Amino acid sequence: MKVAVQFFVVFTILATAYSASSTWGERNSTDTVILNKNVVYPALANRNQTVYFEIPQSFYSLFQYQTNSKVISIIYLQDQFKNSSGPVNTLLWGGPGLTYATIQMQTQSSVGLNVTFRVYGK
């Protein structure tokens, strides 16, 4: 019986450590939401995908270039797939303490992407 309990505890720890959700930074009580966005990409058969996400999202509109003047405190990436088939997340540049960040997400083979970004700052 003890072996079964120990196995269950070790399996739970490993499953938690492997989860595809990521967090960088620490949230303060004075922080507000800078960005709250869901990113979805469909699966490609027998291929993995590498997706880059930038804060602020860099794109040119007809009249202005989007910028961010708020300092990032924390970045949450929450995998919306409940079977831990989400991406491997890497913070490449920027992040907490700065006004920008670039995150790389690499999916598993034949699995899509469904991640919610929540960024707090002040």
The answer for residues whose C-beta is within 8 angstroms of residue 30's C-beta and 6 or more apart is 122
Q: Does 25 reside within a domain?
A: yes
Length of the chain: 122
Q: What is the pLDDT of residue 4?
A: 57
Q: Is 5 within the bounds of a domain?
A: no
On whether residue 64 sits in a domain, the answer given is yes
Work out how many domains the chain is built from and give that number: 1
- Between CA 21 and CA 102 the distance in angstroms is 16
Strands 50-55 and 22-25, bridge-based pairing: unpaired
Residue 101 Ramachandran class (φ > 0 left, ψ -120 to 50 alpha, else beta):
beta
Residue 54 domain-assigned (yes or no): yes
The answer to whether the beta carbons of residues 101 and 93 sit under 8 Å apart is yes
Domain of 117 in residue numbering reads as 20-121
> Could you tell me if residue 10 is inside a domain?
no
The pLDDT value recorded for residue 58 is 53
Phi then psi dihedrals of residue 48, to 5 deg: -100, 160
Tokens of residue 7, six digits: 């196995």
Q: Is residue 7 included in any domain, yes or no? A: no
Give the global pTM.
0.69
What is the distance, to the nearest Å, from the Cα of residue 6 to the centroid of all Cα atoms in its chain?
Answer: 31
Does 75 score more than 50 pLDDT?
yes
Any idea what DSSP says for residue 18? H
- The lowest-confidence range among 64-73, 76-85, 99-108 is 64-73
Query: Is position 114 within any domain?
Result: yes
In a domain, 102, yes or no: yes
Q: Is the pLDDT of residue 91 over 80?
A: yes
Q: Is the pLDDT of residue 93 over 70?
A: yes
Most confident of 13-17, 33-37, 62-66, 79-83: 33-37
**Model pLDDT, residue 57:** 60
Residue 84 confidence (pLDDT): 66
